[in-house]
Structure 1
């Protein structure tokens, strides 16, 4: 029986594409079926993936560091990929997207309709969302890009807590969370296509592991929407120094010179959050900092950030961060405290 042909895996690049993710994908997929055998003095098997770096026109481009990258070719050179990979993008999530993304999105969409698996890494889901393929589907992204994608494409259900989300017909749409979730993406793809044993070998070769706790423990929860409302901005500045007050929302409304009802409506329109949600996330962020940098007991931290009932704050912490305060502290323990 003939060995299966290697799957043509196109890694889509633009000048905004991060170089690390691009070459990590290519290096690891190239290693499947080869590197394990090399290290065990065995004949390499048939490669399972054929990674190729492609751009719209196939011409060399300068990456975000000014390094000239020469792709394998253009979209036209690889019209029928088996897999399309979109690496991370170094872009401001709230600014208009580059005009060049439209042509790239068209090619990605056509490849999907031609039968390809389409996967994005980290902020690459910004580009994938422009294809329209994620409308009505679940998806994830780097936690810092989730709100912008949701604002631009309300038809996508954003799962900010997830590291890996499969969607669409045959689970041929895959999105991942923050950058290091390439571990999860590649282990999943290799296991799905080349088998569990190849995924285990890849994990051992490159010391890869699954992010079993999701990405919320790593997220800064107060990434807010940019806005032009000066009254709300003033209230936010006030809240930064007074979030531990027992009744901060009423005082924020007074600071803005608005009735509480008008303030609630205007604050949500400007920030995408209610004032209470905003204050809660500020309290959570401060608690995370104290867990990372001090030896304070959690009950004392809860009181420090404005909660008289530590059990209520512990419940909120777990809900928003995805783990318990003690587990969070162990994960982010200062290096000197580990000695």
Structure 2
């Protein structure tokens, strides 16, 4: 029996979220054709394939991807409202901060009714990255587990309190709904979706062939920075500053250097950062370092001095004093507290 999958490609889509899913579906077709003696040299997305894939956009026009390239599609959601699918995957779109994410969701509002219609037909619905917000807008995540990229967690929780947000999680699964937050989990999402609409043998073969881990462990970024997600900012300038600090927290950082990288004055950056997070940039940086140090103390056997160096403190005594002030105990005490 043939199965149909629609991949909805929004403007500024991340091509990897489209290509990964399409490639896995084609691998599944190759396996099915091989088992039935119909192996083709070039599996296609045509109607006779065991898994039929359609790329859709809002209006049927080529989609401008995040990379700037244009991608042709097979149709528009408006022209396929009567079409039923076994699965729908909403590809991830580029997001430039929480405010930009919210604005983009507003521009994609026509998708919401279409997703509701598909869900009523018992179609599996999956989404990657920021597109998970469209599932929440459609009410498909009310009372269900959901995950998003770690830096969107605070904004997602404020916007969708009815969703059961799973922090520090890369992939969530509920009846009829799949979510994958970070890019590292998108292959696992596609494989899990494939497992829902095809045979276990087919899914097992694709997993074995690609070596994709369908369990999608927690996002490393979220594990490292989980304690600071609540301070993720809706101010795009501050969100960029936070990202800059998160990428360089183990390096020496000066406020004027950070401000210059954002093309603003140090005074403007300090004012807006404090207004948005309640912290000065240096205090935020210190919390990043302490949270990372606590994680390493919990999860590794690295010497305390080495952990201090890895989070940006070359002086072991200074690191130990600062850690005790921030955590209420010495690094060694923190590590041994549960033993």
TM-score by length of 1: 0.67
Cα distance in 2 for partners of 1:196, 1:56 equals 33
- 1:10 equivalent to 2:10? Answer no
Q: Is the 8 A contact 1:140 1:165 kept in 2?
A: yes
Q: Is the 8 A contact 1:33 1:48 kept in 2?
A: yes
**SS state of the match for residue 104, structure 1?**
helix
- 1:43 equivalent to 2:60? Answer no
Q: Quote the offset at 1:215 in angstroms.
A: 1.9
**SS state of the match for residue 29, structure 2?**
coil
Q: Is the 8 A contact 1:191 1:197 kept in 2?
A: no
- 1:165 equivalent to 2:172? Answer yes
Q: How does 1:79-98 map to 2 (within 5 A)?
A: 79=81, 80-95=84-99, 96-98=102-104
In the alignment, what sits opposite 1:192? 196
Q: Is the 8 A contact 1:299 1:310 kept in 2?
A: no
Cα distance in 1 for partners of 2:11, 2:234 equals 28
In the alignment, what sits opposite 1:62? 64
Distance 1:24 1:300, change over 3 A: closer
Q: Quote the offset at 1:93 in angstroms.
A: 4.0
In the alignment, what sits opposite 1:336? none
Cα distance in 1 for partners of 2:161, 2:286 equals 24
Q: How does 1:105-254 map to 2 (within 5 A)?
A: 105-167=112-174, 171-211=175-215, 213-216=217-220, 219=223, 220-221=225-226, 222-223=228-229, 224-226=231-233
Cα distance in 2 for partners of 1:132, 1:26 equals 27
Cα distance in 2 for partners of 1:226, 1:161 equals 18
1:224-267 deviations in Å (ceiling 9; x for gaps): 33267xxxx9xxx9xx99xxxxxxxxxxxxxxxxxxxxxxxxx9
Q: Is the 8 A contact 1:34 1:47 kept in 2?
A: no
Cα distance in 2 for partners of 1:312, 1:194 equals 51
Distance 1:313 1:281, change over 3 A: farther
**SS state of the match for residue 84, structure 1?**
strand
Q: Quote the offset at 1:139 in angstroms.
A: 0.6
Distance 1:100 1:142, change over 3 A: same
Structure 1 unaligned segments of length 5 or more: list them. Answer: 242-266, 319-339
Q: Quote the offset at 1:196 in angstroms.
A: 2.2
Q: Quote the offset at 1:195 in angstroms.
A: 2.4
- 1:33 equivalent to 2:29? Answer yes
Distance 1:127 1:227, change over 3 A: closer
In the alignment, what sits opposite 2:268? none
Q: Is the 8 A contact 1:140 1:160 kept in 2?
A: yes
**SS state of the match for residue 148, structure 2?**
coil
In the alignment, what sits opposite 1:244? none
- 1:103 equivalent to 2:120? Answer no
**SS state of the match for residue 292, structure 2?**
helix
| Aligned-pair Cα RMSD in Å | 3.9
Q: Is the 8 A contact 1:26 1:52 kept in 2?
A: no
In the alignment, what sits opposite 1:301? 307
Q: Is the 8 A contact 2:126 2:193 kept in 1?
A: no
Q: How does 1:247-286 map to 2 (within 5 A)?
A: 271=277, 281-286=288-293
